[in-house]
A and B are shown apart, each in its own frame.
Chain A
Amino acid sequence: MYRYDEFDHAVVAARVDEFSSQVARRLSGELTEEQFRPLRLMNGVYLQLHAYMLRVAIPYGQLSSRQLRMLAHIARTYDKGYGHFTTRQNIQYNWPQLCDIPAALADLASVEMHAIQTSGNCIRNTTSDPFAGVAADEVTDPRPWAEIIRQWSTIHPEFTYLPRKFKIAISAGEEDRAAVAFHDIGIRIVRNDAGEIGFKVLVGGGMGRTPRVGRVITEFLNPTELLGYLESILRVYNLHGRRDNKYKARIKILVDALGIDEFRRQVEVEWAHLRGSEVEVPASEIERIHSYFVPRELPARPEAPAEFLAARQQNAAFARWVDANIINHRVPGYAGVTITLKPAGGIPGDVTADEMDAIADLADRFGFSELRATKDQNLVLPSVAQEDLLPLWQELVSLSLAEGNHGLINDMITCPGLDYCALANARSIPLAQEISTRFADLERQANIGPLTLNISGCINACGHHHVANIGILGVDKHGDEAYQLVIGGDARDSAAVAQISGPGYSQEKIVDAVETTVNTYLAQRTGAEETFIETFRRIGLAPFKEALNAAR
């Protein structure tokens, strides 16, 4: 993984210094809250319903065991002993004191971590495939490019006061595991007919109140011209994006207004000046950054070892975990493992400091000290020998983290909702807990098969409800918390925005409605191989609507 050099350290240290002095000026009253607000936001400090929140970046999801232990330390020292992994490869702490935050940031800097630009109207943490570098299906490792984007976007002088936040995602797997189509800029690394690697770039995707699938602005961009192209897009957006209405300020609205062809034309006018200019990353730097991501020489381990196969036959819980939580590794004899942070009845994405330490130990023992945070609010051990899967699972069982539910209904994405968030209409977390209790039976979950269920407490869609197979949106119904059910969203390459199923539900009724939706699918599917989204695409919304209305 990437390691900071003296320059990277110097930038982060200077930023900690700068923010410490800003906090001091705020505490002394020299800065008003209004003046302080954008400064704290671009340093990851948010003001929530009850307290400040600190959001720490995990750039493109990459984490070492040492860094995870530091995250545990932060939780213990400055917070209430836990943290919350988010959908953007960040971790949030919900209860820090403002005066402690500079110290927390200095601690983070000591392990090459920061909270720079995790909030505010600037370029946010760049996200990527949690299995980058190990997945068997990838064109190339996207992480060096994600790191280049991280450096380029860090404290960018021209693009720090954009009309609105700006999110970039990059992935290179045959399967898109980073939902790039739902980002302001989405980059898919592809190979052309000549065998060369390039970037297919999408622009103007996003969720929020106007969900949009990103539109293709270029099919194939030469990697060495990436930054000139990004600067051109950002400059057009910075100059022309709407600033009069924050709900219309994202780049997707500008792309809607101009149309993708006119938007592309304007970008290309800029690009004529910037292309190949000194804004590009030098070739030697591309090479230097790539050198940090050279695939690790993994010791040879047996493929499909006998004990593993036997345990899989004999132990149903282990087998379910293997079926759901393991992906193929580029090296035979190894696997990529997802540790889902979704125990039945638990809070999706929440981890205690002790659990973080324990997971860090497991990463040291079984996974070369490497971890990833995922957009599904889970953790990943990217490289585990198949031989070690059983002992790893046994350790996870003792930590109550061995739920074999990755990609199943209980692997929910949930925003913080009304328990923390000042913008929420409704609670998300208790609802997630209720649903995961209802569907706690793992055999039932496995029988339902691949299904995404996401919950957002309001239309800002932090819980990605628009792209869920079953999405739940908190709405305000005459001052009461209520929920709208949407069906048929998809965050993958076959991207789709979910459709509204009908009138909203009360808190008491929404879980039943989810169950009705699931049962409708089960009754309609052609067989166990037809997934929820496939059935939905075949039969459409109507049968679901009908069943839901009949059950009202």
Chain B
Amino acid sequence: MPLVKKTAEGVELIPTAWTRLAEGDALPDSGAVLVPLSLWLEQRDTLRQRAEPVGVWLASNTDTAFAAWGEALAGDLLGLPVVAIDFPVFGDGRGYSIAALLRQRHGYRGELRAIGNVLVDQVSAMVRVGFDGFEVAEGTRLELLEQAWSRFPAVYQTATDGRETIWQRRAAFAAAKGTGA
């Protein structure tokens, strides 16, 4: 499935072919791999030796484990080029909270990729909680993605994307008025 990345300019196709390993899959000899968290925990020293990029993917039910490994692996995590969060079905919204926690609480700065069942209509919310990479369905029209993340000219909530909120804009306006500026 095509991989896309949100950039300052718009949308960019990611040419790298990433192999996503399921639980229990053997590690291929070469190529970029997304490994399940369990494999990373077991073999991270070997994985760090690989010439080609390695990322970790998290299942949507990582939640409880997350608290446990989040602290211990914070250093590890921050160094990964890609952390992916799986959406087994598009209605499983746990990934939105996991993403927000990874970015806001743990300060992850690498690519945060939504994988699995990702719909174009979800990317505007995904961008807000901190995703910037997306595995989208074959044949997805890229202009729809661009439309989706520029859809809302104003937002109410503070989120990972750091957009100035409606409330902040109003407050700034009120302050400017208050000082006679």
Binding site for B on A (CB under 8 A): 5, 7-8, 10-11, 14-15, 17-18, 21-22, 35, 38-39, 121, 151-152, 154-163, 235, 238-240, 243, 273, 277-279, 281-282, 284-285, 288
Contact = CB atoms under 8 A, between A and B. Distances in A.
Interface string B155-169: 111110000001111
Contacts of B6: none
B92 A243 contact: yes
A161 B152 CA distance: 18
Contacts of A284: 170-171, 174-175
A156 B158 CA distance: 9
Given A10-B153, A151-B167, A157-B157, 4 more contacts: A39-B121, A157-B128, A279-B158, A282-B168
Interface residues of B, number: 38
B94 interface: yes
A160 B128 CA distance: 12
15 contacts: A14-B151, A14-B152, A14-B153, A15-B152, A35-B90, A35-B121, A155-B156, A157-B126, A157-B155, A157-B157, A161-B93, A238-B94, A240-B64, A243-B94, A282-B167
Nearest to B127: A157
A4 B94 CA distance: 32
Helix, strand, loop or mixed for chain A's interface? helix
Given A10-B154, A11-B156, A273-B105, A157 B170 contact: no
Contact of B90 (A7, A38, A156, A157): A38
A158 B126 CA distance: 8
Contacts of A240: 63-64
Contacts of B169: 7
Contacts of B112: none
Interface string B121-137: 11011101100000000
Given A161-B92, A279-B157, A151 B97 contact: no
Contacts of A161: 90-93, 96, 122
Contacts of A239: 63, 94, 97-98
A234 to B, nearest CB: 9
Contacts of A121: 91, 93
A16 to B, nearest CB: 11
A7 B167 CA distance: 9
B100 interface: yes
Contacts of A11: 152, 154-156, 166
A163 B156 CA distance: 23
Interface string B78-106: 00000000000011111011101000010
Contacts of A14: 151-153
A156 B157 contact: yes
B119 interface: yes
A163 B128 CA distance: 20
A315 B97 CA distance: 61
A399 B151 CA distance: 45
A425 to B, nearest CB: 26
B170 to A, nearest CB: 6
Contacts of A38: 90-91
B125 to A, nearest CB: 4
A543 B166 CA distance: 59
A89 B125 CA distance: 27
A263 to B, nearest CB: 14
Contacts of A18: 121, 151
B171 A285 contact: yes
A7, A10, A158, A162 interface centre (most CB from chain B within 10 Å):
A158
Closest 8 A/B residue pairs (Cβ): A161-B93, A157-B128, A239-B63, A157-B125, A7-B166, A282-B171, A284-B174, A284-B171
B92 A155 contact: no
Contacts of B105: 273
A158 B159 contact: yes
A186 to B, nearest CB: 22
Contacts of A162: 93
Contacts of B119: 35
Contacts of B157: 152, 156-157, 279
Nearest to B64: A240
A551 B55 CA distance: 71
A324 to B, nearest CB: 40
A402 B152 CA distance: 45
Contacts of B128: 157-158
B156 to A, nearest CB: 5
Contacts of B154: 7, 10-11
Q: Of residues A17, A279, A284, which shows the largest number of chain B Cβ atoms within 10 Å of its Cβ? A: A284
B68 to A, nearest CB: 13
B93 A155 contact: no
A505 to B, nearest CB: 38
Contacts of A151: 156, 166-167
A384 B147 CA distance: 48
Nearest to B95: A161
B125 A22 contact: no
Contacts of A273: 105
Given A239-B94, A285-B167, A157 B175 contact: no
A155 B166 contact: no
B59 to A, nearest CB: 12
Nearest to B98: A239
Interface string B32-46: 000000000000000
B175 to A, nearest CB: 7
B174 A288 contact: yes
A157 B96 CA distance: 8
A189 B102 CA distance: 35
Contact of A238 (B96, B151, B158, B170): B96
Contacts of B96: 157-161, 238
Contacts of A160: 93, 96, 125
Contacts of B122: 161
B151 A17 contact: yes
Given A39-B121, A151-B166, A238 B93 contact: yes
Contact of A285 (B97, B121, B159, B170): B170
A152 B165 CA distance: 11
A250 to B, nearest CB: 15
Contacts of A159: 93, 96
A278 B93 contact: no
Nearest to B67: A269
A17 B147 CA distance: 11
B129 A157 contact: yes
A240 B152 CA distance: 29
A150 to B, nearest CB: 9
A155 B98 contact: no
